[in-house]
Amino acid sequence: MRLLKHPQALAAGSLAAILLATLGLAGCKPKEGAYKATEAVSAYARDMSDAAGRATSKAGERLGLVDKKWDYVRLAWEASPKPPASAPAYEFEDEREAGRALIAEFIARFGKLRDDAVERYLNHVAAGLAAYSDRPSAPVCVVVLSSEDRRAWGLPGGYLLVTIGALRCCESESEAAGLLGAAIAMANQKCVLSRMAEQQAALLPESAAKRATELSDEDFAKVVQATATSLIKDGVAEADVRASDRTATDLLVRLGYEPGGLKAWLARVQVKRQQESAGKPLKDYGAFKTRDTTINERLAELHAPSVGRSIADRWRRDCSAHLPAAKF
């Protein structure tokens, strides 16, 4: 009661309590080393992941990395673009079910390459990229289509499609990794799942709110076929391609592949297309240019070096040597 009558004593008492509490907190750290370690790792993780959405060419400067060009890997861990809010909310099992049906449709249309060595090798490359992606626990499965087109798609549930023609344009593992990385990014951003929802809304407006996997077998078949046709005919939206190219470049950097792997693959495709067009200007020259610019911008943002692991020997030994001769 005496304390309450004297405000000075009350203030002194409170101060003593705060001092005691502070000392107590310091004393209760489990271990000085542990505390510092957690702090350092947390700060590092913050640098890498909390800069999401702020990745500009100034990013390196902000983090003080302009003179530390070795540290491009940190920037490549900045969060990749998330699937748009409008993307259908599928459970992972449903996503895999939709992807599996689409795979069956593509195999039915194009046929697939049957070669154990190539399949095993490409699945290892893709699994490595997926392991370092923003969905590290999502499995991936690569299917090589018997088509001379030069294309790749990332379907729902981690099913990746790549054509023999696209693989023929690769000259090293880093180029194949760039191609597969873009497909993984496409799958993670749910581009094809969104396309499937659009097709479903157009074909079956009364069931637009349902998941494709909840439809009757007949309706499900209609949606799968329409989605495959749309992907083959129109490809994916330009914005999705740009986002996939950026993420693929990040994945190459995270793993230590040559950062320009995808860029090199695109350049080879362009050269082949130019040769085939017998000197006529390419209709999709603009698309090549846009993709090249996108990758260049990302490489500049990351301060990525021009060299990395291209791994051409393993590529030749385990994949390109097993590809069937081109049909012309």
Within residues 261-290, the interface with other proteins by CB under 8 A covers: none
Residue closer to other proteins, measured from CB, 48 or 59 = 48
Instruction: In angstroms, give the least distance from the CB of 186 to other proteins.
Output: 16
Q: Which helix (H) or strand (E) holds 155?
A: strand 152-155
DSSP three-state, residue 142:
strand
* Cβ partners under 8 Å of residue 328, min gap 6: none
Nearer to other proteins, 143 or 262 (CB): 143
Q: Is 181 exposed, middle or buried (0-12, 13-18, 19+ CB in 10 A)?
A: buried
Please tell me whether residue 34 binds other proteins under the rule CB under 8 A.
Answer: yes
In whole angstroms, the minimum distance from the beta carbon of 246 to other proteins comes to: 18
Site for other proteins in 128-187 (CB under 8 A): 128, 130-132, 134-143, 173
Least separation in angstroms between residue 130's CB and other proteins is: 7
**Hunting for tokens 């992606």 — which residue is that?**
133
Is residue 293 a contact point for other proteins (CB under 8 A)? no
Q: What is the per-residue DSSP string for 257-323? A: B-TTHHHHHHHHHHHHHHHHTTTPPPTTHHHHHHHHHHHHHHHHHHT--S--B--HHHHHHHTGGGS
* Shortest CB 299 distance to other proteins, Å: 16
CA angle (310 as vertex; 52, 171 as ends), nearest 5: 115
Complex with other proteins: residue 9 or 271, whichever CB lies closer: 9
Distance (Å, rounded) from C-alpha 248 to C-alpha 188?
Answer: 11
Please choose, out of 21-29, 231-239, 281-289, 292-300, the segment that lies near other proteins by the rule CB under 8 A: 21-29
**β-strands 152-155, 159-163 pairing:** antiparallel
Interface of this chain with other proteins, residues 306 to 325, rule: CB under 8 A:
309, 311, 314
The stretch near other proteins (CB under 8 A) out of 192-200, 236-244, 252-260, 266-274 is 252-260
> Contacts with other proteins in 96-135 (CB under 8 A)?
97-98, 100-101, 103-105, 107-108, 112, 119-120, 123-124, 127-128, 130-132, 134-135
Exactly one of 221, 237, 271, 300 binds other proteins (CB under 8 A); which one? 221
Helix-, strand-, coil-residue percentages of the chain, each rounded to 5: 65, 5, 30
DSSP state, residue 112: B
**Nearer Cβ to other proteins, position 133 or 244?**
133
* Number of residues engaging other proteins in binding (CB under 8 A): 80
